[in-house]
Amino acid sequence: GILCSPVNATFLSCDIGNPLPGKKIAMFKIVLQPPTKEDVVPPSYEFDVFVNSTNPEQGSTMANNQKHISIDIWIDASLEMRGDSYPPTVYYNQSFDTSGEIIRENDIGPQVTHVYYVRNSGPATIQEAEVFILWPLRTLGGEDLLYLLDEPHTKGNVKCDPGMANYKSYLVNYHVDSIWDRLRIDTSSVEDTFVAGKLAGSETIEKGAGTSSGPGVVNRNNTD
């Protein structure tokens, strides 16, 4: 039989036996298992195969004694995203008086909370992913429409770029229980990111995980 043994971490030597009769082919299979988790996945795996003999060989026939093999890597993964709104419908009050002085959160308007779920259905592991969330910040007249009260709250290794959270420094309501408890959302199996806000009277939450007001992520917005 053919015996293969590792010379080092990247070099494998195989003895195909002696003798190898003329016009005969020695066939064998090598199974290599890539690491299940890599910090950086290369675009391809590169292999170089060489063959030599203890018998002398003419230099003119040695060109086909080596072969380079490149295997492209395909990451097979499926990302899914869904969102929920609490409440499911919010009506913009066009007659809302914004001329008065706004001091605290309750002066802005009703809250609406948006919860976004990101799921990797696999089978491959995603090393890094980005989610971009856009929302209507102001009206065409330049007035606040969806006012962000909090920076995103995250858990795990989720990180969010800082936003324009409560840039007017309004007094924000304090809650003993977390936003997840108030909305009765189970986050025990969730690894995503949340944001909350008010529709100059509304709140928006982009689901993730955080530690600001509880086990989750909250960015709160209000709308006028």
Distance CA 129, CA 222 (A): 28
Instruction: List pLDDT tens digits, range 15-42.
Output: 887 788 888 888 889 988 877 666 677 8
Q: Is the dihedral of CA 91, 97, 102, 104 positive or negative?
A: negative
Helix (H, G, I), strand (E, B), or coil: what is residue 64?
A: helix
Query: Tens of pLDDT along 92-104?
Result: 777 766 656 788 8
Q: Where are the beta strands (DSSP E) in the chain?
A: 3-8, 11-15, 44-50, 66-72, 77-86, 111-123, 147-148, 153-154, 192-200, 208, 221-223
In tens, the pLDDT along 153-205 reads 666 677 888 777 888 888 888 878 777 777 787 777 665 444 445 554 333 33
Contact (Cβ atoms closer than 8 angstroms) between residue 209 and residue 193: yes
Domain ranges of the chain: 3-72, 75-224
Each residue of 41-92: pLDDT tens digit? 788 999 999 998 888 888 888 888 999 999 998 888 889 988 888 888 877 7
What pTM, to 2 d.p., does this model score? Answer: 0.56
Taken in order 110, 177, 81, 126, is the CA torsion positive or negative?
positive
Q: Which two tokens stand for residue 167?
A: 């840039």
